[in-house]
Amino acid sequence: MKRVNTFRVVPRSDADAECLRRVLDASASLWNQLNYERRQNFTDPDIDKSVWDTEDYRKQYVGVLGSATAQQVIRKNDQAWRSFFKLKESGEANGLPGYWGNEDEGRDLRSYIRNDMYRLRWATGNSEQSILEISIGKDLKDEFNIGHRERLRLEVQGEPKWTGEQCQLELFYDERSDQFRAIQPVSDCSRQDTPLADETAALDVGANNIVACSTSTGQQFLYEGRDLFARFRETTERIAEYQALAKADEGRYSTQRIRQLYRKRTARRDHAMDALARDLMERLHDEGVSTVVVGDLTGVLETHWSVEANAKTHNFWAFRAFLNRLAYTAEEYGMEVEARSEAWTSQECPDCGEYDETVRHSDTLTCPCGFDGHADLTASATFLNRHTDREVGSMARPVRFKWDAHTWAESPHSRPNEVRTHQQKTFVGVSAE
Ligand SMILES: [Zn+2]
């Protein structure tokens, strides 16, 4: 099993920063040159060379990068082309392997350091610094007055989550935060922090909010699915258009296009769902959760869910598959997932226990007793109370997440809107909208 440590890399002087920048820039330059030649070989009919038949870029960059790092970047590009050919075969290729950055905005500063070409020493006490040492080329050492047997020494900020065999290190400059950062995969590893305690988490899995979660430690997490579903629906509409076209003229282009869109739609959803499961389980592990209780929706789908909610649950995130995904991920973290009936929890008032007279509309649950709260978060808290022996105190401010095509980012306004004046009485019972 592979795990990943991420941390910030802080050069200790301007010279060190410049040196690191040069390593990353040379790596990007190598990648782009090699990739350019490969793209030419691939696309230009007048060039009678395979993509593998290129200049020896290792030789050109060995002085700056060192032989091993130059080789790593070349290997990364090899991989990109190999997976391109594989995707091409199955009709899924989405363009040729790309460049690291572009002319207008500059190169992406990035590099890959082989596992035996760096050393990472985490500080053991407060007075100590964590240090990363990376191997660089001889010319660069000369230029920056680094001894021939020495490596570039950089400070590291952060904490390792995992220890084990260190794998290839990815170094990059993150423009948004103006920081150098590193990603270190670790294999055969064991988790360093928080041992599992005996806490419980309850999940309310839904269509608009994919997961609402409450923990017995008093945390609430909300993963919003509206944007994700909108994109999913957009692709579905495009598929329908192509299907109509294909019907009209039996064009092969259209049917291949349709298959591509289906795959893309599924891949995008799966990526987001995988990331959700991982993000959530990591948080729950940090809370000391050992048991995750998920409502078993299958029994209530037919009767209590609107047609659109049904369409969402079945087509979009495929409830069963998602449950399995959560269970696998939880298992990796040593937690157990239990499916329990959640009959009525989604409309039970936490203050007075009423469920016939409550009104659930959009994201809000209201009760004649005066209660007014976020419907899914309330449901997960009610569900939690039902399945834990522990006294659950008041909940902390909920943390909300939105999918930004790469990660589940914390939403800037993290508190659901709780100031509501009048509830519309149009919907009685459970509604997804
Ligand atoms: Zn009430």
127 or 258, which is more confident:
258
Q: Terminal CA-to-CA distance of the chain, rounded, Å? A: 40
Residue-by-residue DSSP string for 119-161: EEE--SSTTS-EEEEE---HHHHHHTT--TT--EEEEEES--S
Residue 91 inside a domain? The answer is: yes
Both 218 and 156 in one domain: the answer is no
Return the pLDDT at 286: 84
Q: How far apart are CA 7 and CA 65, in angstroms?
A: 22
Element (H, E) at 224: strand 220-224
Q: How far is the CA of 338 from the centre of ligand 1 (A)?
A: 28
Both 126 and 232 in one domain: the answer is no
For residue 124, pLDDT beyond 90: no
Distance of alpha carbon 26 from the chain centroid: 28
Q: How far apart are CA 232 and CA 16, in angstroms?
A: 46
Return the pLDDT at 343: 67
Return the pLDDT at 432: 34
pLDDT, one tens digit per residue, over 33-89 is: 999 999 999 999 898 889 999 999 999 999 999 999 999 999 999 988 988 888 888
For residue 173, pLDDT beyond 90: yes
Burial of 16 (0-12, 13-18, 19+ CB in 10 A): middle
Q: How far is the CA of 297 from the centre of ligand 1 (A)?
A: 24
Q: How far is the CA of 133 from the centre of ligand 1 (A)?
A: 61
Both 134 and 22 in one domain: the answer is yes
| β 110-113/169-174 pair status | antiparallel
Return the pLDDT at 212: 94
Both 212 and 279 in one domain: the answer is yes
Both 133 and 56 in one domain: the answer is yes
Q: How far is the CA of 417 from the centre of ligand 1 (A)?
A: 19
Domain final residue pick, 136, 166, 191: 191
Both 166 and 290 in one domain: the answer is no
Residue 420 inside a domain? The answer is: no
Q: How far is the CA of 287 from the centre of ligand 1 (A)?
A: 30
For residue 189, pLDDT beyond 60: no
In order of 166, 319, 332, the CA distances from 325 in angstroms are 27, 10, 11
Residue 417 inside a domain? The answer is: no
Both 240 and 152 in one domain: the answer is no
Both 387 and 364 in one domain: the answer is yes
Q: Could you tell me what percent of the chain has a pLDDT over 70?
A: 85
Residue 304 inside a domain? The answer is: yes
Both 161 and 203 in one domain: the answer is no
Average pLDDT over residues 242-268: 78
Residue 402 inside a domain? The answer is: yes
Residue 433 inside a domain? The answer is: no
| Highest mean pLDDT of the ranges 89-103, 335-349, 351-365 | 351-365
Q: How far is the CA of 360 from the centre of ligand 1 (A)?
A: 12
Domain final residue pick, 149, 167, 191: 191
Both 177 and 290 in one domain: the answer is no
Residue 8 inside a domain? The answer is: yes
270 or 154, which is more confident:
154
Average pLDDT over residues 193-221: 84
Domain final residue pick, 191, 224, 243: 191
Q: How far is the CA of 313 from the centre of ligand 1 (A)?
A: 28
Q: How many domains does the chain have?
A: 2
Return the pLDDT at 426: 29
Domain span including residue 73: 2-191
Both 182 and 225 in one domain: the answer is no
CB 280 within 8 A of CB 213: yes
Residue 58 inside a domain? The answer is: yes
Q: How far is the CA of 364 from the centre of ligand 1 (A)?
A: 13
Average pLDDT over residues 354-371: 89
How confident is residue 323, by pLDDT bands cut at 50, 70 and 90? confident
Both 187 and 267 in one domain: the answer is no
pLDDT, one tens digit per residue, over 397-431 is: 899 999 887 789 888 655 444 433 333 332 333 33
